[in-house]
Amino acid sequence: MDNFLISPKEVKEQLNSTANGYLLVDIREKNEYSDWNIKGSLNVPVNDLISSGDFASIKKHLERLPKDRMIVTICARGINSQVAASILREMGYNSVSLDKGMKGWNENFDIYRLHFDDFDVVQFVRIGKGCLSYLVIDKSTDQAALFEPAIFIGEYEDYQRANGIHIKYIIDTHAHADHFSGGMELARKLNLDYCISEIEVDKVFSFKSLKAADEIAFGKTRIHLISTPGHTDGSISFLINNKALLCGDLLLLESPGRPDLARTKEETTKGAGILFDTLKNLLPGLSDDTMIFPSHFTNTDIRPVVMSLKDLKANSEPLNITDKREFINYITSNIPVTPPNYETIKKFNKAGVIIPLDYAEDLEIGPNRCAARN
């Protein structure tokens, strides 16, 4: 804690502790809070009142809060929440503001390591954004492939150093629309190739195309590349030693990935049909014991974010639809609101542009909405 600011990491650690005495108070308006919030926080919508300077009304709303807990105020970017925390201190409360607000909350990761016979899968859960990254580590060589890196590349560098592993490949399953890839920057820093299907990018920067590749191999780990279009035209899934499938946005735990981003209505319908064909061709060839690792999550509380194919098929209605038209209608009906700034983010990712971290964080603010149905 620094004066009257508290870091997102410290808040996360407190929430995970048995001695948590913090009360998180989100001052954004109700619609913003309902759309995207920290689980367990309380909404006291005084943000607009702060902007208008109506301090009497602000105090009236805040005076209902208990005085026996540390109050952590939250807003979108950590500006007005500092004002709210100051007012609370004047009212006799212990209060601090979440540094950088929900924007800062997006920086938090939880890390899980799952063990298989010849390899491990390390899942980086970006808890505020619903994004997932992976290190696939060969046990015999400690070499690794990094999938879906976020812009906070220090997370992967720190893990690599602390665990004595060597990243050999940096890969994106597709060009993301809801968050920026850290793959280009990390590849440049580590002097590695950035790998992605050439269908997914504008070919105006240096990358290694996975379009024609069949397999990535290191040590005893064999990663089979599978073309899995639908969410995007060039999406690729990665089957690891026939035990685990890293499938991008093809299969999320809540739903298959949405096919509409950056597409017209007609293209969305076509994409849903392609998604149906991809699933019907792919799933019968996989063992029910195959562990499914998606690249995003929306509402699930399952941690780590993984499920066997058997369980996923039992819990996912669209995976049991056998009629193509019925599937298309299911996927294209009631598609969630599009992710914020998705067109801008995807254009940067497709062009391989590395932009300043603070600017990237601003554009990424908001919930994950990659599932076709929440």
Q: Write the pLDDT tens digit of every residue in 141-163.
A: 999 999 999 999 999 999 999 99
* Whether pLDDT at 2 is above 70: no
* Residue 111 to residue 32: CA distance in whole angstroms: 28
**How many angstroms separate the CA atoms of 69 and 42, rounded?**
13
**Which of 334, 250, 295 shows the shortest CA–CA distance to 129?**
295
Summary mean pLDDT of the chain: 95
Mean pLDDT, residues 72-94 taken together: 97
How far apart are the C-alpha atoms of 45 and 27, rounded to whole Å?
5
What is the distance between the alpha carbons of residues 82 and 101, in angstroms, rounded to a whole number? 10
Q: Which domains does the chain have, with CATH numbers?
A: 5-104 (3.40.250.10), 108-364 (3.60.15.10)
Asked if the model's pLDDT at residue 19 lies above 80, the reply is: no
User: Which residues are known to be catalytic?
Assistant: 75
Nearest one of 7, 72, 78 to 41, comparing CA atoms: 72
pLDDT tens for each residue of 208-224? 999 767 899 999 999 99
Question: Exposed (0-12), middle (13-18) or buried (19+): which is 271, by Cβ within 10 Å?
Answer: buried
Confidence of residue 99 (pLDDT cuts 50, 70, 90): very high
pTM of the model: 0.95
**pLDDT confidence of 334, banded at 50, 70, 90?**
confident
pLDDT 10s digits, 275-295: 999 999 999 999 999 999 999
Q: What is the pLDDT of residue 373?
A: 77
- Greatest mean pLDDT range, 13-17, 39-43, 364-368: 39-43
